[in-house]
């Protein structure tokens, strides 16, 4: 993770100084000058492949992108702070247009027409909406027939014909639709051998479909494609590549054709990229992953492929899955030279979600990431040290060693860190920061660890999930356990020796004293029942800032009626600090006790005055939920972690 400077607003009380890491990689595409536009969940970047430099283009996190180089536009699928498709200029990153698709409809796909005059958006309401790019108005709505399942019949894949007159859409339940764009009429509905994960129009008017195996097992094939006649739905060619090397096999999704239309590249949930001669559909090359990238039992996921405008290079957006059961993925970009099919360049400055965060002396930052524990020398960035503590999963169905970390809490002397691994079997333990060695795992009663805390005396640790459990360092048996009606998701330790826990059941518990037998259990904030999602002690330990939102059918982190409450422990009195947020997921208290920072599910960071709850700043800094917040010891900076795969360093002027 490299530190990347960003622009600041001198008039704001909260400014994003720099970003540590690029964010979670989503897609990438070529510009006409040979540079690469890289879309991550945190930001849009431009990679100079020859020079090796990576520069930010615009702070616009996305989970999907469609480029039109000649028009100089990119369509970005955004989930935060609202679901929409954003059209940005590739020249300067300026916002050209925004297409609001509705809060409740998932966005499956977005595709610009070849001339970038229209935008097609596949929605979770069985509809494809067509938008006029220039005016931003919706032109038409193409509706897929209703099915018995809400998951079937959804337009998960879209592809425009080269002349922009037709649009193809496909779903996971083996269906393909072809539409006349001018009239909005359905030209045909066809059945495919398998569900399609990718579509590509060929120069001869045929459709190439990358097929999903649909959960089945096909051991003899490594690549599975279908050439379909869009006029009648007939499968003209069924391409199966023999799996002679014994590679891992999965769904196909990524398709690209070389500008001269002589070659087609395909890839998916496997270990190789397949290159075909489109004249004969014979296999021309197979590009295997370099040995230092993929080792058994790892598996590669190819998200997208793109040939450079001159056809000399092939760009692959890759995720490497190290532990399949733990969903640990590492992301990277690969550039293959078509002359000899050699790997010419690679960019690996990406990570998955950053789950936990801790700050040490001298401003050191400890970030729990999907590739291990990253330790930055200071908030200025610098080259991080990567510790990869590994433990074997206790789940019977997963025998892999876990590396992806979810949470971290630092010991007071900074010799060790309490970490939890990203799994569903409750692995957590102390890691020696000098050697990376893992001590004995804690005997946790929960299937998934939601939060960790380390007592200021260094002798006690706490973890929560299905219950809140406190241990004495070096002992396996628990000192105390607290039960909740729902998951306990927040844990914190105060400077004066208290432990605090909050739960989705809406209760707050604070314990202290010998064996933590004293305390307050089952406290509830005033008003309607709320899911509590995060908490932080005041500097002197006399009060708690607690984040919560109203329970709903949607996830609590998406609830826009979120609140921050301040609970005075001595009097059990509550103060409510209302704010408009997309569900609060993190909270922190400044060292001088004057400020409270909160992070929400849309990547926004809010700065509040603790005395009266006045909102001093509300800034969008991430493309996904904020998972952790910490003030530096001097209170001059705030560090945020996010599921978008990046850290934000903010200057504070409260």
Domains and CATH numbers, the chain: 60-240 (2.130.10.10), 359-422+429-442 (no CATH), 423-428+444-652 (2.130.10.10)
Confidence at residue 290, expressed as pLDDT on a 0 to 100 scale: 66
Confidence at residue 597, expressed as pLDDT on a 0 to 100 scale: 96
Residue with tokens 């105390």: 480
Q: Is the Cβ–Cβ distance between 111 and 66 less than 8 Å? A: yes
Confidence of residue 222 (pLDDT cuts 50, 70, 90): low
Q: Is the Cβ–Cβ distance between 550 and 528 less than 8 Å? A: yes
How many residues are present in the chain? 654
Out of 369-378, 399-408, 472-481, give the one with best mean pLDDT: 369-378
Supply the mean pLDDT for the chain. 86
Out of 145-149, 172-176, 185-189, give the one with best mean pLDDT: 185-189
Q: Is the Cβ–Cβ distance between 406 and 356 less than 8 Å? A: yes
DSSP, collapsed to helix, strand or coil, labels residue 189 as strand
**Residue 184 pLDDT greater than 60, yes or no:** yes
Of residues 190 and 220, the one with the higher pLDDT is: 190
How are strands ordered across the β-sheet holding 175-180?
157-160, 166-170, 175-180, 186-191
Confidence at residue 589, expressed as pLDDT on a 0 to 100 scale: 97
445-474 tens-digit pLDDT: 667 889 999 999 999 999 998 899 998 887
Q: Which has the closest alpha carbon to 512: 569, 568, 560?
A: 569
CA–CA distance, 25 with 302 (Å, rounded to integer): 12
Who contacts 192 (Cβ-Cβ below 8 Å, separation ≥6)? Answer: 170, 174, 175, 176, 209, 211, 226, 228, 235
Confidence at residue 306, expressed as pLDDT on a 0 to 100 scale: 96
Of residues 21 and 136, the one with the higher pLDDT is: 136
Confidence of residue 125 (pLDDT cuts 50, 70, 90): confident
314-342 tens-digit pLDDT: 999 988 765 544 455 678 899 999 999 99
**Residue 148 pLDDT greater than 70, yes or no:** no
**Residue 244 pLDDT greater than 60, yes or no:** no
Who contacts 216 (Cβ-Cβ below 8 Å, separation ≥6)? Answer: none
Q: Which has the closest alpha carbon to 73: 118, 116, 126?
A: 116
Give the global pTM.
Answer: 0.85
CA–CA distance, 66 with 30 (Å, rounded to integer): 11
Confidence at residue 259, expressed as pLDDT on a 0 to 100 scale: 77
Residue with tokens 């590994």: 390
**Residue 293 pLDDT greater than 60, yes or no:** no
CA–CA distance, 447 with 444 (Å, rounded to integer): 8
55-64 tens-digit pLDDT: 999 888 888 8
102-118 tens-digit pLDDT: 756 789 999 999 999 99
Strand runs (DSSP E) across 94-154, as ranges?
Answer: 95-100, 107-112, 118-123, 127-132, 138-143
CA–CA distance, 409 with 451 (Å, rounded to integer): 9
Confidence of residue 384 (pLDDT cuts 50, 70, 90): confident
Confidence of residue 491 (pLDDT cuts 50, 70, 90): very high
């Amino acid at each position: 993770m490299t530190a990347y400077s960003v622009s600041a607003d001198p008039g704001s009380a909260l400014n994003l100084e720099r970003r540590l890491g690029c964010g979670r990689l989503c897609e990438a595409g070529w510009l006409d000058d040979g540079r690469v536009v890289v879309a991550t969940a945190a930001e849009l970047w431009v990679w100079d492949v020859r020079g090796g430099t990576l520069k930010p283009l615009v702070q616009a996190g996305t989970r999907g992108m469609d480029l039109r180089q000649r028009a100089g536009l990119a369509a970005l699928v955004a989930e935060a702070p609202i679901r929409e498709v954003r059209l940005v200029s590739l020249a300067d990153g300026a916002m050209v247009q925004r297409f609001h698709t509705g809060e409740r409809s998932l966005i499956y796909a977005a595709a610009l027409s070849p001339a970038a005059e229209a935008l097609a958006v596949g929605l979770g309401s069985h509809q494809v909406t067509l938008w006029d790019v220039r005016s931003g108005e919706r032109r038409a709505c193409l509706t897929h027939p209703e099915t018995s399942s809400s998951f079937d019949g959804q337009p998960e894949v879209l592809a425009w014909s080269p002349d922009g007159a037709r649009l193809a859409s496909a779903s996971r339940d083996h269906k393909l639709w072809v539409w006349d764009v001018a009239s909005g009429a359905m030209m045909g509905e066809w059945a495919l051998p398998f569900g399609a994960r990718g579509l590509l129009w060929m120069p001869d008017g045929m459709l190439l479909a990358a097929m999903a195996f649909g959960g089945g097992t096909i051991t003899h094939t490594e690549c599975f494609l279908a050439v379909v006649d869009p006029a009648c739905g007939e499968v003209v060619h069924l391409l199966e590549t023999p799996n002679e090397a014994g590679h891992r096999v999965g769904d196909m999704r990524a398709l690209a054709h070389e500008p001269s239309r002589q070659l087609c590249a395909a890839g998916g949930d496997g270990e190789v990229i397949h290159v075909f001669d489109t004249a004969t559909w014979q296999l021309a090359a197979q590009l295997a992953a370099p040995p230092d990238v993929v080792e058994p039992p790892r598996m590669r996921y190819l998200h997208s492929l793109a040939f450079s405008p001159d056809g000399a290079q092939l760009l692959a957006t890759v995720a490497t899955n190290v532990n399949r059961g733990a969903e640990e993925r590492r992301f990277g970009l690969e550039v293959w030279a078509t002359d000899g099919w050699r790997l010419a360049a690679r960019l690996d400055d990406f990570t998955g979600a950053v789950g936990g965060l801790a700050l040490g002396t001298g401003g050191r930052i400890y970030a729990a990431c999907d590739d291990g524990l990253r330790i930055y020398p200071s908030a200025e960035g610098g080259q991080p040290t990567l510790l990869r503590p590994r433990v074997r999963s206790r789940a019977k169905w997963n025998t892999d060693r876990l590396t992806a970390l979810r949470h971290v809490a630092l010991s007071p002397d900074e010799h060790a860190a309490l970490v939890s691994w990203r799994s569903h079997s409750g692995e957590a333990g102390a890691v020696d920061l000098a050697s990376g060695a893992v001590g004995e795992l804690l005997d946790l009663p929960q299937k998934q660890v939601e939060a960790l805390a380390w007592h200021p005396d260094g002798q006690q640790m706490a973890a929560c999930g299905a219950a809140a459990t406190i241990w004495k360092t070096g002992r396996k048996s628990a000192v105390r356990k607290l039960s909740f009606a729902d998951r306990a998701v927040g844990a914190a330790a105060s400077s004066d020796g208290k432990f605090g826990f909050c739960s989705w059941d809406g209760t707050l518990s604070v314990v202290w004293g010998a064996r933590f037998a004293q305390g307050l259990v089952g406290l509830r904030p005033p008003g309607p029942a709320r899911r509590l999602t995060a908490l932080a002690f005041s500097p002197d330990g006399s009060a708690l800032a607690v984040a919560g939102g109203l329970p709903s059918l949607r996830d609590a982190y998406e609830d826009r009626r979120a609140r921050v409450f301040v609970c005075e422990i001595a009097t059990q009195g509550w103060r409510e600090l209302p704010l408009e947020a997309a569900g609060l997921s993190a909270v922190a208290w400044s060292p001088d006790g004057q400020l409270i920072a909160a992070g929400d599910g849309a990547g926004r960071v809010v700065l509040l005055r603790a005395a009266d709850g006045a909102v001093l700043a509300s800034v969008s800094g991430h493309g996904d939920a904020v998972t952790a917040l910490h003030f530096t010891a001097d209170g001059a900076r705030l560090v945020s972690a996010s599921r978008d795969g990046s850290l934000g360093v903010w200057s504070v002027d409260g």
